[in-house]
Structure 1
Amino acid sequence: MATLGGWAGKILRVNLSTGKISAEDSSKYYDYIGGSGIGYKVMWDEVPEGTKAHDPENKMVFSTGPLTGTGALCSGRMTITSLASWNKYNAVINSHFGGYFASELKYAGWDAVIVEGKASSPVWIKINDNEVSIEDASMMWGKGCFYTMAEIAGELGDQAQSAVIGQAGENLIPISFIRTGSSHHGGGLGDVMGSKMLKAIGVRGTQSVKIAGDKGAWMRLMRENLTVIGANNQHVVPKFPQPWAEFNNPATRWTSAEDKYWGAAEPPVKTGTNPPQDINRIGFRTLKSILDLTDVAEKYTVRMGGCASCPIRCHSQMKIPQLEQYGYPPYVSSTCVGFFSPGAVMIKGVQDMNGEGLMIARALGAQITNDYGIWCNYLQIGRDFNYAYNKGILKKVLPKAEYDSIRFDLLEAGDPAFLLDFYQRIAMKEGEFSHMADGAYLLAKRWGFGDDYWDEEAYGLWNKDFGYPHHHSNEADAQVGTLVNLIKNRDAQNHSHNNFLGSGLPLEIQKEIAAEVWGGGEAIDEPGHYTPMNKPKAVFAAWSLKRNFLHDSLTLCNWMWPMTVSPLKEKGYRGDTAMESKYYTLATGKEISEAELDKEALKLITLHRAITMRQMNTMNMRNEHDLIPKWVFDADKDKKPYDKGTNKLDREDMELAKDMLYEEFGWDKKTGAPTRATLEDLGLADVADELASKGLLPA
């Protein structure tokens, strides 16, 4: 089969048990889009049911998509697929990171790396274009992520990219991550790398990615994309009033202004007003540091960094000299929860320190976790600590000597130095306290957390058996966000719906666009004033899930995509929801419509569900997987669902919402499992046959 444009054409397979390295044709995966589609296909075909995350039989799939490395905007994502140790069933998850590793892998001539088996001693995989070897990593083992990345750069050159684990992954800490670059990481699978004794993958590529379509048409599409792209999270309305802007909204991430600067640049750089027609200044729109680290961070901002092919630059690169007093260099880079999570661990608050205390705590914690490789399970680690400490559970479960040795005095005083002790104990697996990073399901089971842990919104949990927190759920268009949080085996990691809702545009314009895209303005409600379930909401939820799975496969950044709206008044603030299919057609040479590509995404959602059903050994996904926590229905005791000022939902209405989502997907309403007819229509007849043989296919 001929190589499609956009694809490198080869898959790398590395068996760490035998040392065998082989190359395979990528064409087997063309019908699975790429990225997570490759991962799901490998997991379905090759990983037996009942396999545990740390078993040598488990596999890790590091995969790119047909847009990775092409220059398509915001296409620098890497998808990592494997079984996760921190949920009840060791069910399949995707982890993702940005940066430059995915593009570099494509430039080396590989679409994906399949890692299997387990090495007998620490190793790393060295990829230098077509030359691949398994190298000794004993000198890196026990060292942090930054040291490891530096060693690989010394071996492969400064242009090389690497995906590495820190001590947390080595020590099989369930809530650990895989890191690339200065500030990008994929959470939840670092321990699987550690279980395989795999410290890192390093790659250097000197080739190119070929596109099949006309290059002039490609450049015209990219220029059109540059006119409809907004700021971080596709927010298209500025936060502050601008002379060019019809609207402004204080909740958006378009934070540039005439009086805002990258204050630590030499000399300081004015972000400016940046009218959307000036596409050369897109990278100045998002001064993310003042959102993540408070307004005081402006003077410590060197610049904004980001990922391959992305003009947005949403990672704050900071110089904070105060970090040196804690033994760390002043330079730190991260974004969003990478900064928020350490601040959330400081559950007693933070010393003011001349108004910079919270910034210092967040930045210090980011630096520590970046090096140790500790994930936060979308901020859950702070909520878990809050529960265990304030409920007196830590005092009960920790040996007295261990409890007394922990610097809780620093915590009570609001001193960020507490984070040094907190994270070291976790990463180095020191004592019982290290189980704080087991993940919510395992931790609650081990330490005997009460029902209130799961049932109260303050602790953020969504699914008891999978131990993940909510992520843009019922507060994000009520039933729509709730449905989005049901499908994956980890936090939703879905911004398709929330980017639109948070775009900054007035509700009237959003409703006009919703009517055009999802069949009715009633697809969205005024925040905090919700209405009962309806057909457009079901279409919106299904569409949001399809686009999320699609982006993880192409690969595109779901923080930015889809381009549903734009900052241009002359376009009526409309974006272009067909832009993914236009890129795919030009890149691969395979003509595909927007609707056809969405159907391919549904295929991946359905395959993900089949893998999960097999691992759980159930087809009753409606009642065993697609669960909604009590706090969604029990919040605001003095209000009823749909009252103004509450996100509270109605139980019967949400059961109707499930029915309507399953109908959109062609799944059985009674069980929430895909039907044979749907599986066959999606080209998954073999999946239907296997599910039927196990009694997991609805009648």
Structure 2
Amino acid sequence: MSKVTGWTGKILRVNLSTGKISTEDTLKYKDLVGGSGIGYKVMFDEVPTGTKPFDEANKLIFSAGPLTGTGIPCTSRTTITSLLPTNPYYAVADGHMGGNFAAVMKYAGWDAIIVEGKSRRPVYLLIEDDKAYINDASFIWGQGIFDSNAQLSARIGKEASIALIGQAGENEVPMSVIMNGRSHSAGGQGGIMGSKKLKAIAIKGTGAVHIAGDKKEWLELDKLNMSVIGANNNHVVPSTPQPWAEFNNKGSRWNAHKGLTWGASETKVDTGECDPKDMNSVGFRSQKGVFDLGAVAEKYTVRMGGCQSCPIRCHSQLNIPKLEKKYGVSPHVANTCMGYFSPGGIMIKGFSEEGEKGEGAMIARSLGSVLADDYGVWCNYGQIGRDFKYVYEKGILKKVLPKEEYDSIPWDKLEAKDPEFLKDFYRRIAFKEGEFSHLGDGSYWIAKRWNLGDEFINSKDVGLWSPLGFPKHHSSETNAQVGAVISCMFNRDAMVHTLINYTGSGLPLEIQKTRAKELFGSEEALDNPAHYTKMNPYKAKFAKWSIVRSILHNCLTVCNYVWPMTFSPLKERGYKGDTSLEAKYYSLATGHQLSEQELDLAGERIFTLFRALTVKNMNTVDMRNKHDLMCDWIFEIDKDKAPFTPGTIKMDRKDMQDALTMLYKEMGWDEKTGAPTKETLVKIGLADVAAELERLKLLP
């Protein structure tokens, strides 16, 4: 038997109802690559229509792709697929976490873990290479993520990688996370683990991921990759002027420069200039402590951390003694981006002043990140704070909460800008204490429960993209219709960083437009920011490419915060990256030779499978009018300006319907309904999916 390369060749299936543990062949999913491709097919084939997220019949799939565990930069991503409790149709969605869980899962010999059924008692799954055990977890049930992780590590060995839930997940809070390490979390599905009484999955892997290609060729590809890689979010220019750089952009996360340090490191590491020709300095490029928390964070930053095999290091690791002395939590903080921003959004009155300038904000954001991560509360891309702000300032909480409960909440601390308020806030959410805790249900459900109406749904300040209740995440403000149609395609916030990595690269617009002509056929694929033009076919190609690459990244599995390598920091390359790197690595890893275009076709197949699964979940073919929706604020902002007026991101209703039609056409879907056609499904290798939709009368 020939050696399997790239993949491990095995999937672990665990039935918590019966205790049965079995093994399946990964390669039956080869045409779906891995990661979410496996997850979507399992959900389509095995989960009955009408199943709800916390039902025993729902499944939870942890999966990785053929590039994870090979050492390719930025590839330790775990895709977690299931029905999403915050979605009004309980449609399928993915969560994604970094860390080292996916790599260790592959070292243990598994490409995916399918969890099904429901245990009658708290358990954790222990995997030691090719052996798996369902063990009692009563000793950690009811505890937070940090203590649970520590106790499990002490029991089974610190070399284990552990994915687990906190009290929010145990209590089936819809907005809860699954986390590995101290800051690598996947949002939205912690409650599904809780409903199955599964506290954790702990893996010890001592094997390796074998590759098919020549090692010399592999090393050359690594050198190319490291020469075109940017910083976090693929920013390829520095934020400050540098001797080596032709361009700089103050918004870039490539914020290293001489004199900016990891101030709390033993030797006070200077991040330096990070010339892109010096590959050993890539890990210094993103000093995210100061990017996320302000200049005051420099002296508290111990180092930058991140995921297995990733040189970008986008998770700041801080030591803030005041957190322990004043607030009684660990002084050790690790997080990135929304982990810090979301608690700040809950502090709707601002931050108290303490210590030096900016310290109050840093303390509040860091305290909130520790609390949310330990309880396992998901912020839904910061939406929880915007929802809270609305219902508090509009007086809605005073109406819907019982008086005794309302009076028990420390509003005085909120008004005084005291971060102690966060301790009360997150506890109520995680333990489902009272009516207030329904803020953890998600925007759609609280709007329905508290009768918030159209004013809430359509408020620009609330920030919902869709009446289905998910927030905007790089939407119409990001290249007009391109970001807008992308945001309509998913069952939660659209985590398509392919687009924002492109427009946010930091390079001048002229260079970005030249690249757009190469990739999408015309410079007209890209607009000047807030100088929008009407929809055109090139924008549809840009949107399709962005989605397909994001889907591929969730299947290969690589980090969409960095991939694809569209641009480069090198002037001698004309700042051009290499968008064929995914296909080159895939071919070398698996021995299955695919061109860039062929791999993109696989991504198109997987995205169409996702669309078909959503049709099945929603039990309708009318995706245009039932799924691909936009809130009114998108069309009503800037009352004094018409769409396409310079300076506004206001969209036009008819133009946006044209945009959807053009994307449907690019995908080969029915242009009236936006549902996949039988012809397209069969053509791209999904004949069995077409047959099932036909049986259910769900083909257009």
Same fold (TM over 0.5): yes
Aligned to 1:441: 444
1:18-39 per-residue CA deviation (whole Å, 9 max, x = no partner) reads 0001111112111110000000
| Cα distance change of structure 1 residues 674 and 263 upon mapping to structure 2, 3 Å threshold | same
Query: Percent identity between the aligned chains?
Result: 59
Aligned to 2:52: 52
Letter in 2 for 1:378: Y
Q: Aligned to 1:304, what secondary structure does the other structure show?
A: strand
Aligned to 2:276: 276
Contact 2:144 2:167 in 1 (8 A): yes
Range with bigger deviation, 225-234 or 449-458: 449-458
In 1, Cα distance between equivalents of 2:439 and 2:278: 48
Aligned to 1:178: 178
Contact 2:128 2:203 in 1 (8 A): yes
In 2, Cα distance between equivalents of 1:469 and 1:110: 34
Q: In the TM superposition, what is the alpha-carbon distance from 1:155 to its structure 2 partner?
A: 2.6
Letter in 2 for 1:276: P
Aligned to 1:23: 23
In 2, Cα distance between equivalents of 1:521 and 1:499: 17
Aligned to 1:241: 241
Q: In the TM superposition, what is the alpha-carbon distance from 1:152 to its structure 2 partner?
A: 2.0
In 2, Cα distance between equivalents of 1:5 and 1:272: 39
In 1, Cα distance between equivalents of 2:101 and 2:151: 16
1:653-692 per-residue CA deviation (whole Å, 9 max, x = no partner) reads 1111111101110001100001111100111111111111
Q: Aligned to 1:528, what secondary structure does the other structure show?
A: coil
Alignment of 1:227-238 (within 5 A): 227-238=227-238
Range with bigger deviation, 685-694 or 240-249: 685-694
Q: In the TM superposition, what is the alpha-carbon distance from 1:216 to its structure 2 partner?
A: 0.9
In 2, Cα distance between equivalents of 1:167 and 1:597: 41
In 1, Cα distance between equivalents of 2:523 and 2:553: 25
In 1, Cα distance between equivalents of 2:88 and 2:172: 17
Q: 1:423 aligns with which of 408, 426, 430?
A: 426
In 2, Cα distance between equivalents of 1:108 and 1:155: 19
Aligned to 1:508: 510
In 2, Cα distance between equivalents of 1:235 and 1:87: 32
In 1, Cα distance between equivalents of 2:27 and 2:574: 41
Aligned to 2:662: 660
In 2, Cα distance between equivalents of 1:617 and 1:525: 37
Aligned to 2:337: 336
Q: 1:409 aligns with which of 385, 401, 412?
A: 412
Letter in 2 for 1:326: Y
Q: 2:599 aligns with which of 597, 600, 612?
A: 597
Letter in 1 for 2:526: I
1:180-213 per-residue CA deviation (whole Å, 9 max, x = no partner) reads 0011000000000000000000000000000011
Q: Does 1:378 align with 2:381?
A: yes
Q: In the TM superposition, what is the alpha-carbon distance from 1:2 to its structure 2 partner?
A: 5.4
Aligned to 1:568: 570
Q: Aligned to 2:690, what secondary structure does the other structure show?
A: helix
Q: Does 1:526 align with 2:522?
A: no
Q: Aligned to 1:469, what secondary structure does the other structure show?
A: coil
1:109-136 per-residue CA deviation (whole Å, 9 max, x = no partner) reads 0110000000000000000111210000
Q: In the TM superposition, what is the alpha-carbon distance from 1:267 to its structure 2 partner?
A: 2.0
1:424-447 per-residue CA deviation (whole Å, 9 max, x = no partner) reads 111111111111111011111111
In 1, Cα distance between equivalents of 2:3 and 2:442: 42
Q: In the TM superposition, what is the alpha-carbon distance from 1:450 to its structure 2 partner?
A: 2.4
Letter in 2 for 1:376: C
1:158-191 per-residue CA deviation (whole Å, 9 max, x = no partner) reads 1110000000000010000001001100000000
Q: 1:491 aligns with which of 476, 490, 493?
A: 493
The gaps in structure 1 that reach 5 residues or longer are: none
In 2, Cα distance between equivalents of 1:444 and 1:35: 33
Q: In the TM superposition, what is the alpha-carbon distance from 1:225 to its structure 2 partner?
A: 0.1
Aligned to 1:543: 545
1:627-663 per-residue CA deviation (whole Å, 9 max, x = no partner) reads 1111111110011111111101111111111111011
Aligned to 1:454: 457
Alignment of 1:50-129 (within 5 A): 50-129=50-129
Contact 1:156 1:203 in 2 (8 A): no
In 1, Cα distance between equivalents of 2:200 and 2:137: 8
Aligned to 1:686: 688
Q: Does 1:470 align with 2:441?
A: no
TM-score (norm 2): 0.99
Contact 1:231 1:286 in 2 (8 A): yes
Letter in 2 for 1:406: I
In 2, Cα distance between equivalents of 1:607 and 1:112: 18
In 2, Cα distance between equivalents of 1:548 and 1:93: 14
In 2, Cα distance between equivalents of 1:3 and 1:62: 23
1:475-522 per-residue CA deviation (whole Å, 9 max, x = no partner) reads 000000001101110000110011010000001111111111111111
Aligned to 1:345: 346
In 1, Cα distance between equivalents of 2:150 and 2:223: 36
In 1, Cα distance between equivalents of 2:5 and 2:648: 49
1:399-452 per-residue CA deviation (whole Å, 9 max, x = no partner) reads 111100100000000000100000011111111111111101111111111211
In 2, Cα distance between equivalents of 1:612 and 1:51: 13
Contact 1:3 1:27 in 2 (8 A): no
Range with bigger deviation, 350-359 or 37-46: 350-359
Q: Aligned to 1:121, what secondary structure does the other structure show?
A: coil
Contact 1:66 1:584 in 2 (8 A): yes
Alignment of 1:175-324 (within 5 A): 175-324=175-324
Q: Aligned to 1:457, what secondary structure does the other structure show?
A: coil
Range with bigger deviation, 567-576 or 608-617: 608-617
Contact 1:4 1:589 in 2 (8 A): no
Contact 1:262 1:303 in 2 (8 A): yes
Q: In the TM superposition, what is the alpha-carbon distance from 1:156 to its structure 2 partner?
A: 2.5
Q: Does 1:633 align with 2:632?
A: no
TM-score (norm 1): 0.99
In 2, Cα distance between equivalents of 1:671 and 1:434: 37
In 1, Cα distance between equivalents of 2:471 and 2:4: 39
Letter in 2 for 1:78: T
Q: Aligned to 2:565, what secondary structure does the other structure show?
A: coil
1:54-108 per-residue CA deviation (whole Å, 9 max, x = no partner) reads 0111000000100010011100000000001122111100000000000000000
Range with bigger deviation, 583-592 or 350-359: 350-359
| Cα distance change of structure 1 residues 506 and 193 upon mapping to structure 2, 3 Å threshold | same
Letter in 1 for 2:480: A
Q: In the TM superposition, what is the alpha-carbon distance from 1:3 to its structure 2 partner?
A: 5.6
In 1, Cα distance between equivalents of 2:318 and 2:585: 34
